[in-house]
Amino acid sequence: MAFDESALLDIAPVDPAKCLPRPPVVTVMGHVDHGKTTLLDAIRNTDVASREAGGITQHIGAHTVNIDAGRIVFLDTPGHEAFTAMRARGAQATDIVVLVVAADDGVMPQTVEAINHAKAAGVPIIVAINKIDKAGASPDRVKQKLADYDLVPEEWGGDTIFIEVSAKEGTGINELLDVILLQADMLELSADPDRRAQGIVIESQLDKGRGPVCTVIVQQGTLKRGDVVVVGSEFGRIRAMTNDKGTWIKEALPSTPVEVQGLSGVPNAGDPLAVLPDLETAKRIAQFRAERARQEHLARSSKVTLEDLYSQLQQQEVMELKIVLKADVQGSIEAIRKAIGDLTTEKVKTVILHAAVGTVSEGDVTLASASNAIVLGFNVGVDTKAAIVAEQEGVQINTYNVIYEAIDEIRKAMHGLLKPVFKEHVTGHAEVRETFRIPKIGLIAGSSVVDGKISRGSMVRVLRDGEVMWEGRLVSLRRFKEDVREVEKGYECGICLDSFNDVRLGDVIEAFMLEETQPSM
């Protein structure tokens, strides 16, 4: 019997009437040394609970900040690579992204990368312009540059919120937190706390003293100590839970980050957590997932390549080619971007998910894997780790030294996305004069070719009084006792059709060929 995982999980649809507002989950992203960690430290200092308790003891890769206006959960772990690695597994743990940009440094490569990763995930972005207290700070220059990436400030008529902050001085921190809560209200984030819990793994590790330990964000329901859970291909009963302050807790409501102990093994970041009624069910689901993962690893899930886009199209109606572009200089990027953009038509379009200067990195491959894209490199090398990950994930990396070769390959790939056109050519007709059966072969139609020719292996249709009775392939063609390749006009032959035994006297057998032509864009 087929294994029905969804029936065993028995996850009921969320009832909006039972949902209550939940705190937003926020990831802070940006370029190196633009002040992400300092900003998080400044935000922690605004935590009402931490002031009462005398300071935070940070135990896990996520923390909750309680302010007078509400509660916000910040994720420490996901930089943009981890953020996308989770999305590659189908996880969506983040509600809002805070993009940190230094006012004295401006938009840098990792800033652009973070923007593209957040956009690919469809997550709203709030921009925090940091280090406004430093000499040479120019927030307007940052806004101007970010506008080129479709992050236009509200005061300029756009829809992106910009907040000027100084993590070092503490300026603008409260305003940033208020804006996050305002954005959360607009998103109308909610969850049902009274159902069986569901969540997502943020990070995991094997602790020598405690065994497998993972950090989970609860998304629906209330997770309780003693619950039986399945997490990816691991299962177990929750022995203990601690919150981000290191305090032992008995239950965790939606949007609460908790560290969980008691699993059979270490799950992956992005694995879903679900509460089940008993250990036996959890074990069966975990074993099924482990076997499925093993089979997928052996089969290697096929990623898109320039050669197999047409076959991909046969399986799913994908009419766009996604590209991660890396080049030696910014001028090359602009030239290639324009050339690729000019190839876009009403039938097929190109989407450049990310374009940057430098070597093809592991982050580029991870983004391509998550988005089912190809990596295009121009006059650049491929990082060793990126090449290893690309081979593991089945991501195609194409590098070129001549721009026309790159554009030509993209054009060929886009042609491959178009559905082929089949044109029919009728090659001949034969009239059925007699029918007889041969044991182990079936019905034979004794026919006379009245025009054209009938060829073995051609497609045929049976016409009766002008109506098509059957269409398929001709499997056997004979003259007397000999197999022949074709029979021309004026000659008689015996015709055997594939799986059709209702041929009658007077039927006309029409032979035709299908010629495949590739349409132009």
More confident residue, 49 or 404: 404
CA 103, 106, 107: angle at the middle one, nearest 5?
Answer: 140
H/E stretch holding 230: strand 228-231
Residue 55 confidence (pLDDT): 39
Per-residue pLDDT of 419-470, as tens digits, reads 566 778 889 999 999 988 888 778 889 999 999 999 887 889 999 988 888 8
Residue 165 scores a pLDDT above 80: yes
| Residues above pLDDT 90, as percent of the chain | 34
Residue 53 scores a pLDDT above 50: no
Instruction: Sort 375 into a burial class: Cβ within 10 Å, 0-12 / 13-18 / 19+.
Output: buried
H/E stretch holding 53: helix 48-53
Q: Which domains does the chain have, with CATH numbers?
A: 19-190 (3.40.50.300), 198-296 (2.40.30.10), 309-417 (3.40.50.10050), 421-517 (2.40.30.10)
pLDDT band at 63 (very low <50, low <70, confident <90, very high): confident
* Pairing between β-strand 467-479 and β-strand 508-517 as defined by DSSP bridges: unpaired
Task: Kindly state the tokens that stand for 248.
Answer: 């032992």
* 3-class secondary-structure state, position 104: coil
Residue 58 confidence (pLDDT): 42
* Pairing between β-strand 467-479 and β-strand 459-464 as defined by DSSP bridges: antiparallel
More confident residue, 90 or 411: 411
pLDDT band at 106 (very low <50, low <70, confident <90, very high): confident
CA 146, 150, 155: angle at the middle one, nearest 5?
Answer: 75
pLDDT band at 316 (very low <50, low <70, confident <90, very high): very low
* Pairing between β-strand 70-75 and β-strand 25-30 as defined by DSSP bridges: parallel
- What backbone phi and psi angles, to 5 degrees, belong to 39? -65, -40
pLDDT band at 62 (very low <50, low <70, confident <90, very high): confident
Within 333-457, strands assigned E span: 349-357, 374-378, 397-400, 421-438, 442-455
* 3-class secondary-structure state, position 372: coil
Q: What is the mean pLDDT of residues 308-337?
A: 70
Q: What is the mean pLDDT of residues 51-72?
A: 65
Per-residue pLDDT of 189-224, as tens digits, reads 999 999 999 999 888 888 878 889 988 999 999 999
**Average of per-residue pLDDT values in the chain:** 83
pLDDT band at 99 (very low <50, low <70, confident <90, very high): very high
| pTM score of the predicted model | 0.60
More confident residue, 251 or 355: 251
DSSP type of residue 440: T
Q: What is the mean pLDDT of residues 392-406?
A: 85
Q: What is the mean pLDDT of residues 157-169?
A: 91
- What backbone phi and psi angles, to 5 degrees, belong to 37? -65, -45
